[in-house]
Amino acid sequence: MLFNATFHAADIEQRDKKRSLFMAKKMLPEYVFDTSRLEGNPITFPEVQTLMDGITVGGHKISDMEQVLNIRNAWLALFEMIEQNRFEVSQNSFNKINSLIAKNEALEWGKFRTGNVSIAGTKEYQCPPADNLLQIFNDELPKIKNSSQNPVDFAIRLFLWASLNQFYWDGNKRTARIIANGILLNEGIGVFNISATDILEFNTKMLSFYENKNADDIIRFLSQKCIKVVNL
């Protein structure tokens, strides 16, 4: 399911992949925290840092702590794929990331959903039937890649496309976010991160996007606020 969108950006200069990865790894606790907070996870930033250091924190549900660690594990898998030159935007990569990020949280993880789902807060939008997902993925992904102006454009469009189609039972935005980061980091550009301080604006624009399929507003928001170019 494609959508209407316009994107204008200056040419993105090729950067240093190793340095981009180095800086992304240094900032990983922040990215994990922001992603978990977008899911309504109450674990604080210092607690996220503690969990990522291998120390449990008290006063939280096991599921909340596991969600944080799942996000971390998906990021670490992405770093490994990029470092070993194995990263590609494919169904295998999507499934690999979802198998980590939605583990023990979704009905199934690491494979396309086999039933229908809906997106909370929407009134008109209906997600594609499960039987159509593989064809949608195979037909539309090449079109999105070929029509993108640069890696940033591709990363943003891919994130929105995957979020719209809801290929998995759960963890769709998180999975798409990691893959989008793979595109940027593999090109040595930077990261795609939605800050916890921007959650309300992001959710509002995403709901509008789901309902009318016009991506101009959300693309403008993501390109201006959520693309973090790594300073070398």
- Predicted confidence (pLDDT) per residue in 63-114, tens digit: 999 999 999 999 999 999 999 999 999 999 999 999 999 999 989 999 999 9
* Residue 14: predicted pLDDT: 54
If pLDDT is split at 50, 70 and 90, which confidence band does 225 have? very high
Residue 191's nearest CA partner among 22, 8, 44 is 22
Q: Where are the alpha helices (DSSP H) in 102-215?
A: 133-147, 151-165, 172-186, 199-212
> Is 72 buried (19+), middle (13-18) or exposed (0-12) by CB count in 10 A?
buried
**How does the average pLDDT of the chain come out, rounded?**
92
CA 110 to chain centre: 15
Once rounded to an integer, what is the mean pLDDT over residues 19-25?
91
DSSP structural state of residue 61? -
What is the token pair recorded at 136?
Answer: 């949608």
Residue 122's nearest CA partner among 163, 157, 179 is 163
Residue 12 pLDDT > 90, yes or no?
no
What is the token pair recorded at 221?
Answer: 């928001």
Calculate the alpha carbon distances from 11 to 87, 151, 169, 177, 198 in Å.
Answer: 23, 10, 36, 22, 26
| Dihedral angle sign, alpha carbons of residues 219, 225, 228, 232 | positive
CATH for 17-111+126-229, among 1.20.1250.20, 3.30.980.10, 1.10.3290.10, 3.40.1180.10?
A: 1.10.3290.10
What is the token pair recorded at 25?
Answer: 């790894």
Residue 11 pLDDT > 70, yes or no?
no
* Residue 67: predicted pLDDT: 96
Assessment of whether the complete model's pTM goes beyond 0.85: yes
Question: Which one is predicted more confidently, 144 or 11?
Answer: 144
